[in-house]
Amino acid sequence: MRVIPTDVDGLVVFEPTPHRDERGYFSRTLDVQVLADAGIDPAGFKQENQSRSYQGVVRGLHGRLNAGEAKLVRCAHGAVLDVAIDTRPGSPTFGKVSRFLLDDQVCRQVYIPRGFLHGYQALTCVTDFVYRIDDFYGPDEDVTVAYDDPTLAVVWPAPITVVSQRDRSGLTWAAYRDLIGA
């Protein structure tokens, strides 16, 4: 499994080597030694969640207040455009939008440290998205920033088909910055 650093501190891409033959492929999705060597505590993950989305669906931009949560995300079936936005006050990349194509062919994963907003758009008819998180769900800490905020200017590559009410009524980027004191 290759470890690919990004230009944002703590945001790391993991790229396995799927072994393919006439049956399909086999791919390692977790290697605790590779995570540990990259500075990530593999024992720190407390939950694993999966969501299914249909083509064009946008989920996000979601975050958590206070300490936040770290995520290790991947697309188990189909393809998504994954988006992470650095919201760590004082970070030299504060407000930077990072985009990754995650799919079930290359099997890339992205580690998103605490202090980021996260979202994705389903690019195929059916997508199954899996994320490991390092904290238990805390609904009182949930925060959503508008997926279409003009200041962030996230470019979603496909026509948007469905967005939840929660995501349609997200905060503006300016209101979120005020909320976190940045």
Active site residues per annotation: 62, 131
Minimal CA–CA distance to 117: which of 11, 39, 36, 13? 11
Residues 6 or more apart in contact with residue 67 via CB below 8 angstroms: 114, 135
Q: Mark out the alpha helices in the chain (DSSP H runs).
A: 32-37, 165-168, 173-180
* β-pairing verdict for 58-64 and 116-122: antiparallel
